[in-house]
Amino acid sequence: MTEFNSDSSEKTESPGCIILALVFFSLLIGLAMLVFIAGCQSPSNGAASSNTVASSNAVAPQGPGWRTMTSADGSYQVHLYIPDPAPLNQEFTAHGTVFKDGIPISESAEVVFDGGMPQHAHGLAVPVVTLRRPAGGFVAAGVRFHMGGRWLLTVDIIEGPHLERARGWVEIR
């Protein structure tokens, strides 16, 4: 015969209580680590990104022909001017300014402007030489879209070993 003890005056620790206590303790430790890690984050990261948007928007030119492109990794913002409408089969000068964190890029950075029609597997008919200007500026003289259609514009920004590309489309008629 089996005896049941109905006396609840004895205190027994069951494995379930121990597991519950360990889970609760783990949650507390995890919460403490989360607060510690969040507290160690530099407040300048958030401030820099909000300043970038404010600074970049403050200097972004508006109007026909101006377009803004962001590089693939988001490090650079390019304000590019191409006449609107862009002339077909005539040379013109494209120019712009490149910003990093809302500040014009350094004079030592290289900027390369190019364009092409990927759907036709060709680029510009004549290579364009891009010259740097002060305060993050650049000029690409001799750009010529030799046929109508959709052109992919690229601006490469090279700072030391780091290269990023900003891209944007333009329709030529």
Q: Please name which of 140, 47, 23 lies closest in space to residue 86, comparing C-alpha atoms.
A: 140
How does residue 104 score in pLDDT terms, banded at 50, 70 and 90?
very high
Q: What is the mean pLDDT of residues 14-30?
A: 79
Stretch among 48-62, 88-102, 135-149 having the lowest mean pLDDT: 48-62
Please name the helix (run of DSSP H) or strand (run of DSSP E) that holds residue 65, with its range, or none. none
pLDDT tens for residues 28-81? 887 777 666 766 554 444 333 333 333 444 457 888 899 999 999 999 999 999
Nearest-angstrom CA–CA distance, 63 and 68? 11
Q: Mapping DSSP to helix (H, G, I), strand (E, B) and coil, where does residue 15 land?
A: helix
Looking at residues 104-124, what average pLDDT do you find? 94
pLDDT for 17 equals 75
Nearest to 76 by CA among 140, 168, 165, 161: 165
Cα atoms found within 13 Å of the Cα of residue 86, Cβ hemisphere only: 27
Domain boundaries, the chain: 13-59, 62-172
Tell the CATH superfamily of the 62-172 domain. Answer: Macroglobulin (MG2) domain (2.60.40.1930)
pLDDT at 20 over 70: yes
What integer is the mean pLDDT of 105-118?
95
pLDDT band of residue 107 (cuts 50, 70, 90) is: very high
Q: What phi, psi does 101 have (nearest 5°)?
A: 55, 35
As a whole number, the mean pLDDT across the chain is 82
- Residue 41 is predicted with a pLDDT of 53
Query: What is the model's pLDDT at position 10?
Result: 56
Distance from C-alpha of 156 to C-alpha of 111, rounded to nearest angstrom: 6
